Chain A
Amino acid sequence: MEILKDFGVQPILLAAQIINFIILLLVLKRFLYKPIIKVLEERKRRIETSINQSEEIQKRFDESAKKQEEILDKAREEAKNIIENAKEESNILSEQIKTENKQSIENAMKRTQDSLELEKQKMVADAHNQIVTMVASLTEKVVPKTLKEADKEKLIQEAIKEIENEN
């Protein structure tokens, strides 16, 4: 230990230096390392969470964009379908309307024809009656009044028959 004395090593100074260093260590640990490491950790944590969050947001944004596109596609498809259906329906409707119109026109025509027929028949009947009365009166005038009542009747009937046969 002679050599240590040559270098001026004294136990008391050595102890003083050791104590000094330990005090320095404790002070630095308390006032420098702890707060700075805490801040570094906290910052690292914050950065990590914010990066994660931004990734999450980006993911969600992509997803929603995809969804939006899907919805748009669906809507387009639906719109196309609706238009097609409407076209078809309108075609059917117009066809229906056409047939209905035709029918109603036919009906109307039939009705008018029917009424015309009726009118005609009525007219014919009327004419028939008038002719009958005319013939009766004529015969009464032409044929002498001496003819018996029964013969008169017979003659009229024959005349009418003849007329009817002519018709």
Chain B
Amino acid sequence: MEVTLFAEKIFSVGFFPITNTLLTTLITTVVLCSFAIWASKKTSLVPTSRIQLASEIVIENIFSVIENLSDRKRAERFFPIVATFFIFIIVANYLGLLPGFNTIGLNETHDGKLLFVPLFRSVNSDLNVTLALSLISVGMTHYYSISSLGVVDYLKRYFSLNPVNLFVGLLEIVAEFTKILSLSFRLFGNIFAGEALLVTISSLFAFVLPLPFLFLEIIVGFVQAAIFMMLTLVFIVILTDKHTAH
């Protein structure tokens, strides 16, 4: 049993392939959406439900992080996207640690060979997901940059008549593309490696032995979510900062 680099297709709806990561993504989305709707019904000024307390702690902490890096007005604007990155990634990562992931699956014959196709696969161990996330991250960064600085100031960052600044601008353009790659591959690499590690250790000896690695993965899951959130936040703050605009 081994983990493939790409997410396996379970079945197709018409031409649309349903992979195991797409399935777990949908599960994560449904879990989070139902949590949000449940929480929204119980909000009160004096918090009595634990669900409200928990969401308050998470939201307040993320909000204060954003506010410390920018200001109150920008924090209110960036908060939804930044917080959603963190919450989605950490929930997806922890969901991937549940028993059943990579172990429950179907045996399929593929090109004459018998293959094991797991039904559930950790969401972020699919480059489709992480690439989508980083595209949204970078896309939103530029959207915020344009909307808060204006098109002229936004373009001044990359194009200039001054040859030195023109070269710097060129580097900035390259940096924007490396952002997409680094964000997506960092997250994908970490989670995929963890997945592969857990599967390998479990195939060696499935009792007790994977426990330390599970704890490691718990840390990695949090750290990766935090890194993705912080990087997105920092990029957004830098690109919307009026002082750094040349």
A residues with a Cβ closer than 8 A to B are 4, 6-10, 12-14, 16-18, 20-25, 27-33, 35-40, 42-43, 46
Contact = CB atoms under 8 A, between A and B. Distances in A.
Contact of B84 (A7, A12, A28, A42): A28
B127 A4 contact: yes
Nearest to B130: A17
Interface in B13-56: 15-17, 19, 22, 25-26, 29, 32-33, 35-37, 39-40, 43-45, 47, 52, 55-56
A92 to B, nearest CB: 73
A9 B134 CA distance: 14
A40 B128 contact: no
21 contacts: A6-B5, A8-B4, A8-B126, A14-B131, A14-B135, A16-B128, A17-B128, A21-B88, A24-B29, A28-B32, A28-B80, A30-B40, A32-B39, A32-B59, A36-B52, A39-B43, A39-B45, A39-B52, A39-B56, A40-B59, A43-B45
Interface of B: 4-7, 15-17, 19, 22, 25-26, 29, 32-33, 35-37, 39-40, 43-45, 47, 52, 55-56, 59-60, 63, 76, 79-81, 83-84, 87-88, 126-129, 131-133, 135-136, 188
A94 B49 CA distance: 84
Contacts of B37: 27, 31
Contacts of A20: 25-26, 29
A24 B128 contact: no
A25 B126 CA distance: 20
A46 B39 contact: no
B59 A27 contact: no
Central interface residue in A22, A29, A31, A32, by most chain B CB within 10 Å: A32
A7 B128 CA distance: 8
Contacts of A12: 15-17
A75 B2 CA distance: 96
Given A21-B136, A31-B36, A32-B59, A14 B128 contact: yes
A16 B45 contact: no
Contacts of A33: 59, 79-80, 83
A36 B8 CA distance: 38
B128 A9 contact: yes
A17 B56 contact: no
A22 B136 contact: yes
Given A4-B127, A21-B136, A35-B43, 18 more contacts: A4-B131, A8-B4, A8-B126, A9-B128, A12-B17, A13-B7, A14-B132, A16-B22, A16-B128, A18-B136, A21-B84, A24-B84, A27-B33, A28-B32, A29-B84, A32-B39, A37-B63, A40-B59
